[in-house]
Structure 1
Amino acid sequence: MDPASFDPNPTLGAVQIGVLVAYVLFGVATTQAYIYFSRFPDDSRRVKAFIVLVWSLDIAHSLCFGHVLYTFTILDFAQPQRLGAQPPKSLSVSTLFSGLTAAAVQGFYSYRIYLFTKKLFVPCILWFMALLHFAGRVLLFATTLHTPSILVYIQQWEWLITTNWGLSVATDVAISVTMVTVLYRRRSNAHRKTAALVDKLIVWTIETGLLTSATSLVMLGSFLKSKENFTWLAFHAIGTQLFTNSLIASMNSRASLRSRDPIALSSLSSNRPVPPGVHIQTVKHVTYEGEEVPPQKIPEDV
């Protein structure tokens, strides 16, 4: 980059804003993870391990972009021509971590669709799309390790970048549309309380799906419009954090749904609605000074 015509706003400024927003979102994800482990101690070890994995990938991605920002603003301070030189290796590694996070979250949502439908055809297509997107990220990671500059790399591999980001948008949209369709079909056979929960799930699905897909779409659009600046890099830093937040937030949302109607929520995973007038019996076992009292059944209407 020519120092005489260098404009720091769409380059260094964009990266700085993107990293700062990404760090705020990382703090939100960390808080969400703390809430999850506090509210759901009885979840299976596999689910807890999966949450830890995604959160750990988020940490690695944040550290990579912290190093990218430090390199651009401190190590290369007052040397704008260095922005056109070989990029820091941390930028390449961040591509790998972001691909892992996206594939994990998209795979989880695809598995959730399978649990609702008990059919493998559509989830397998979604898993294949997520795997193909991850394979593209691995290829991007491998090809950027030894590139002489970002601009040269964009000229050589623009087709790969646009295809990979476009596939990410397509996968997010396909998952959201499929989930909304499945929930809407389930809603037609549901009772009033269950239908209200389904409506809430549909809204959340649309919100989270639009958030991640819209960010990827804006990132792709900014890249195609202005390849010479780093606006697209700012959205790249933010996008991975949105995947992590949407996943953990969806896990925590179960608390509010269960508080509304736990029986209706459990019925969503079955093929028939729960009949009205269901009763839950809670058994309490009480002991007084070594004397055992028979269990007492206390009915609770739902």
Structure 2
Amino acid sequence: MVRIIKGALEDLFGGTFVGNVCSTFLFGILTVQVVLYYIRFPQDGKWIRRIVGFLWVAIVFQTVCMTKMIWWWHIQNYFNPQALAKPKWEFSSYHLATTIESVVVQSFFVYRIWGLSSNIYVIAPLQALVITQFAFATTLLIEADIALSFDEVAHKWNWLVRVWLAIQATCDALIAMLMTFLLWHRKTGFKRTDRAIDTMVYWSVATGSATCFQSIILMGIFSHFGFTFSALVFGITLSSMYPISMLTSLHMRSKVRKQLSAPSTSEPLKALRTKVVISRERGEFIALAPYQPSNLVVNIHRSQHKDSPRSNIDQLGRDQVCLSDAEASTLRNSNYSDVEFGSAK
């Protein structure tokens, strides 16, 4: 009986089966991400936690429907040619999941861009593009459910698939570029903060480009060949990539926080002896000369110069620099609030 399945049917059965297996594997990864998210970030807002749960439920719905569709094809109606020509509505579950997942995740990233820029002229066109791709995806879903024919969707509505995937890929690319641009211009020159920003930029580009490239590849394959093996594998797994990209972005905060709160190595005293002492009250400075033996020790507070969260300021401590008598006299006369005087032990 295997020899009967040739050409298009072989691609159709194989692509649906392999695509569902890959999607189930991605669903397992997403499940782990969701569980870890609820454990790590209990302080997140209710709406974000509910969105994460909703996305997980949508992928569960797709996995169950596609598995049921494969069972109906391969077991219950294997000898029925009419069943092979027209699938049940469950076959469109992966497109329904992709439609929902893409608009929710893209809107979430648009909201994050709004938090970085607060520019309505940037956010409004981007969100309008997201809604446009959702409208095309919904139209395609309705037409596919009405037709329930592979040939009609692959030929009559091929242009609709291309437009939808092109707009969707454009949204993903614009989101990744805007996130990169806004984060890059927030660099401060401090190594710790810049390292954290580099991490956010990397994951923004990685998550955005993954869904963008997959949409472009799917558009190219489907527009030329229709429901082939590769088109089905890329199409069925696309829905899982959106919530995974969102959860990856949410989990990225743990690494960024560790980078910001990690204790930095204190500078050697020899380097501090030539450091410039800055007064936050008067905006003036005194350059300390190279070390000269003295019994006087100056404690220089580092809190106002430290690149760390505000809550950790009290834990930063202070640096000690040995000064000559002349330098100590100059600092005393200047009344700098950043320094304290004491005797060397």
Fold-level match, TM-score > 0.5? yes
* Contact kept in structure 1, 2:173 and 2:208, CA below 8 Å: yes
Residue 276 (1) aligns with residue 291 (2): no
Pairwise CA distance, 1:249: 1.5
In terms of mean alpha carbon deviation, does 70-79 or 52-61 score higher? 70-79
5+ residue gaps in structure 2? 263-302, 318-345
Aligned pairs, how many?
274
Pairwise CA distance, 1:5: 4.5
Pairwise CA distance, 1:79: 4.9
Pairwise CA distance, 1:150: 1.1
Secondary structure in 1 aligned to 2:305? coil
The answer for the alignment partner of 1:171 in structure 2 is 171
The answer for the alignment partner of 1:120 in structure 2 is 120
TM-score relative to the length of structure 2: 0.73
* Contact kept in structure 2, 1:98 and 1:240, CA below 8 Å: yes
Deviations 1:36-64 (A, max 9, x none): 00011111112111111221222222222
The answer for the alignment partner of 1:216 in structure 2 is 215
The answer for the alignment partner of 1:103 in structure 2 is 103
The answer for the alignment partner of 1:266 in structure 2 is none
The answer for the alignment partner of 2:252 in structure 1 is 253
Alignment partners' CA distance in 2, 1:172 and 1:80: 40
Alignment partners' CA distance in 2, 1:205 and 1:281: 27
* Contact kept in structure 2, 1:3 and 1:80, CA below 8 Å: no
5+ residue gaps in structure 1? 264-273, 283-297
* Contact kept in structure 1, 2:16 and 2:229, CA below 8 Å: yes
The structure-2 alpha-carbon separation of the partners of 1:229 and 1:280, relative to structure 1 and needing over 3 Å to count, comes to closer
1:300 to 307, 310, 315: 315
The answer for the alignment partner of 1:200 in structure 2 is 199
TM-score relative to the length of structure 1: 0.83
Matched letter for residue 166 of structure 2: G
How big is the alpha-carbon RMSD for the aligned residues of Structure 1 and Structure 2? 2.5
In terms of mean alpha carbon deviation, does 11-20 or 91-100 score higher? 91-100
Matched letter for residue 252 of structure 1: H
Pairwise CA distance, 1:252: 1.2
Secondary structure in 2 aligned to 1:146? helix
Alignment partners' CA distance in 2, 1:31 and 1:16: 23
Alignment partners' CA distance in 1, 2:83 and 2:70: 13
Alignment partners' CA distance in 1, 2:234 and 2:73: 17
Alignment partners' CA distance in 1, 2:309 and 2:144: 60
The structure-2 alpha-carbon separation of the partners of 1:25 and 1:191, relative to structure 1 and needing over 3 Å to count, comes to same
Alignment partners' CA distance in 2, 1:281 and 1:101: 37
Deviations 1:168-213 (A, max 9, x none): 11111111111111112222x4422111111111111111111111
Secondary structure in 2 aligned to 1:195? helix
Matched letter for residue 212 of structure 1: T
Pairwise CA distance, 1:97: 2.5
Pairwise CA distance, 1:255: 1.0
In terms of mean alpha carbon deviation, does 74-83 or 200-209 score higher? 74-83
The structure-2 alpha-carbon separation of the partners of 1:119 and 1:76, relative to structure 1 and needing over 3 Å to count, comes to same
The structure-2 alpha-carbon separation of the partners of 1:194 and 1:141, relative to structure 1 and needing over 3 Å to count, comes to same
Pairwise CA distance, 1:67: 2.5
Alignment partners' CA distance in 1, 2:38 and 2:149: 43
The answer for the alignment partner of 2:237 in structure 1 is 238
Pairwise CA distance, 1:87: 2.0
Secondary structure in 1 aligned to 2:146? coil
Pairwise CA distance, 1:138: 1.3
State the identity as a percent.
22
Higher CA-based Rg: 2
